[in-house]
Structure 1
Amino acid sequence: MQTATISNANSSAGPNRPFGELSNRVAQMFPVLTPAQVARIAAFGQEMRYPAGHVLYDQGDTHLPFFVVLEGQIDVVYARPGGIEELITTLGEHQFTGEVTLLTDRRSFVQVRAKTDVRVIRVEQPRLRAIVQTESELSELLMRAFILRRVALLSSGYGDSVIIGSRNSAATLRLQAFFARNGQPVQYLDVERDAVVQELLDRFHVSVDDIPLVIVCRRGCVLRNPTETQVADCLGFNANVQMESIRDVVICGSGPGGLAAAVYGASEGLDVLVIESTAPGGQAASSSKIENYLGFPTGISGQALAGRAFTQAEKFGAQIVVARSAVRIDCGHPIIQIDLGGGDIVRTRALIIATGAEYKKLDLPELSRFEGVGVYYAATYVEAQRCGDNEVVIVGGGNSAGQAATFLARSCKHVHMLIRGPDLAASMSRYLVRRIEETPNITLRKRTRIVGLHGKEHLEQVTWRDDATGETSTHPIRHLFTMAGASPNTRWLHGCVMTDAKGFVCSGADLTHEMLLEAHWPLERAPLLFETSRPHIFAVGDVRANSVKRVASAVGEGSVCIQLVHRILTE
Structure 2
Amino acid sequence: MTETPRSTLLSSAANAALMFPVLSSAQIARIASHGVIRPITRGEVLIDSGQTNVPFFVLKAGEIEVIRPSALDEILVAIVGPAQFTGDISMILGRPAQMRLRVSDSGEVVQLTRDQMHALIQTDAEISEVLMRALIHRRVAVVAHGIGDVLLIGSVGSGATLRIKQFLTRNGHPFKYLDLDRDADVRQLLDRFHVEPAEIPVVICRGEAVLKNPSNQEIADSLGFNKGIDHTHRRDVVIVGGGPAGLAAAVYAASEGLDVLVIEASSPGGQAGSSSRIENYLGFPTGISGRELAGRAYAQAQKFGAEVMIAKGAAELVCEHNAYGVRLDDSVTIPARTVVIATGARYHRPSLANLGQFEGAGVYYNATFMEAQLCDGDEVIVVGGANSAGQAAVFLAQTARHVHLLVRSSSLSASMSRYLIRRIEETPTIQIKTRTEIVAFEGTEHLERVRWRDGTGAVTSQDLKHVFLMTGADANTGWLNGRVALDAKGFIKTGWDLTKEDLAAARWPLERSPHLLETSLPGVFAVGDVRCGSVKRVASAVGEGSIAVSFVHRALAE
Which runs of 5 or more residues in structure 1 are unaligned?
A: 1-10
2:379/2:464 contact within 8 Å kept: yes
Separation (CA, whole Å) in 2 of partners of 1:281 and 1:254:
6
Work out which of the residue numbers 173, 177, 198 in structure 2 matches 1:184. 173
State the partner residue of 2:15. 25
Q: Deviations over 1:237-279 (max 9, x none)?
A: 1111011111100000000000000000111110000000000
Deviation of 1:292 after TM superposition, in Å, equals 0.6
1:287/1:303 contact within 8 Å kept: yes
State the partner residue of 1:4. none
Q: Percent identity?
A: 52
Q: CA RMSD in A?
A: 1.4
The residue type equivalent to 1:47 in the other structure is I
Separation (CA, whole Å) in 2 of partners of 1:183 and 1:496:
34
1:280 equivalent in alignment to 2:246: no
Deviation of 1:15 after TM superposition, in Å, equals 4.1
Deviation of 1:343 after TM superposition, in Å, equals 3.7
Q: Which runs of 4+ in 1 moved over 6 A?
A: none
Deviation of 1:382 after TM superposition, in Å, equals 1.6
Aligned residues: 556
Work out which of the residue numbers 505, 508, 512 in structure 1 matches 2:499. 512
Separation (CA, whole Å) in 2 of partners of 1:382 and 1:161:
17
The residue type equivalent to 1:232 in the other structure is A
The residue type equivalent to 2:488 in the other structure is A
Which one is further off, 199-208 or 303-312? Answer: 199-208
Work out which of the residue numbers 14, 27, 30 in structure 1 matches 2:6. 14
The residue type equivalent to 1:396 in the other structure is G
The residue type equivalent to 1:33 in the other structure is L
Separation (CA, whole Å) in 1 of partners of 2:178 and 2:529:
36
Separation (CA, whole Å) in 2 of partners of 1:495 and 1:89:
53
Work out which of the residue numbers 495, 499, 514 in structure 1 matches 2:486. 499
Q: Deviations over 1:274-314 (max 9, x none)?
A: 00000000000110000111111111100110011000001
State the partner residue of 1:245. 233
Q: How does 1:437-448 map to 2 (within 5 A)?
A: 437-448=425-436
Q: Deviations over 1:459-498 (max 9, x none)?
A: 011111111x322111111000000000000010000000
Work out which of the residue numbers 536, 546, 551 in structure 1 matches 2:523. 536
State the partner residue of 2:203. 214
1:78/1:85 contact within 8 Å kept: yes
Which one is further off, 555-564 or 88-97? Answer: 88-97
Which one is further off, 396-405 or 105-114? Answer: 105-114
Q: How does 1:539-554 map to 2 (within 5 A)?
A: 539-554=526-541
1:19/1:152 contact within 8 Å kept: no
1:557 equivalent in alignment to 2:544: yes
Separation (CA, whole Å) in 2 of partners of 1:15 and 1:234:
32
Q: What secondary structure sits across from 1:176 in the alignment?
A: helix
Work out which of the residue numbers 183, 186, 203 in structure 1 matches 2:192. 203
Q: Deviations over 1:224-249 (max 9, x none)?
A: 21111111111111111011111100
Q: What secondary structure sits across from 2:440 in the alignment?
A: strand
1:250/1:351 contact within 8 Å kept: yes
Deviation of 1:24 after TM superposition, in Å, equals 3.0
* TM-score using structure 2 length: 0.98
Deviation of 1:126 after TM superposition, in Å, equals 0.4
Work out which of the residue numbers 400, 407, 416 in structure 2 matches 1:412. 400
Separation (CA, whole Å) in 2 of partners of 1:423 and 1:347:
48
Q: What secondary structure sits across from 2:380 in the alignment?
A: strand
Q: What secondary structure sits across from 2:518 in the alignment?
A: coil
The residue type equivalent to 1:402 in the other structure is G
1:135 equivalent in alignment to 2:127: no
Separation (CA, whole Å) in 1 of partners of 2:330 and 2:385:
40
State the partner residue of 1:50. 40
Q: What secondary structure sits across from 1:69 in the alignment?
A: strand
1:12–1:294 Cα change, 3 Å: farther
State the partner residue of 1:36. 26
State the partner residue of 1:267. 255
Which one is further off, 483-492 or 510-519? Answer: 510-519
Which runs of 5 or more residues in structure 2 are unaligned?
A: none
The residue type equivalent to 2:259 in the other structure is D
Separation (CA, whole Å) in 1 of partners of 2:38 and 2:16:
27
State the partner residue of 1:78. 68
Deviation of 1:18 after TM superposition, in Å, equals 6.5
Deviation of 1:17 after TM superposition, in Å, equals 4.8
Deviation of 1:85 after TM superposition, in Å, equals 2.2
Separation (CA, whole Å) in 2 of partners of 1:78 and 1:16:
11
* TM-score using structure 1 length: 0.95
Q: Deviations over 1:40-90 (max 9, x none)?
A: 1010111110111111111221211111111111111122432x3222221
Separation (CA, whole Å) in 2 of partners of 1:16 and 1:273:
38
Q: What secondary structure sits across from 1:310 in the alignment?
A: helix
1:257 equivalent in alignment to 2:245: yes
The residue type equivalent to 1:542 in the other structure is D
Separation (CA, whole Å) in 2 of partners of 1:412 and 1:79:
38
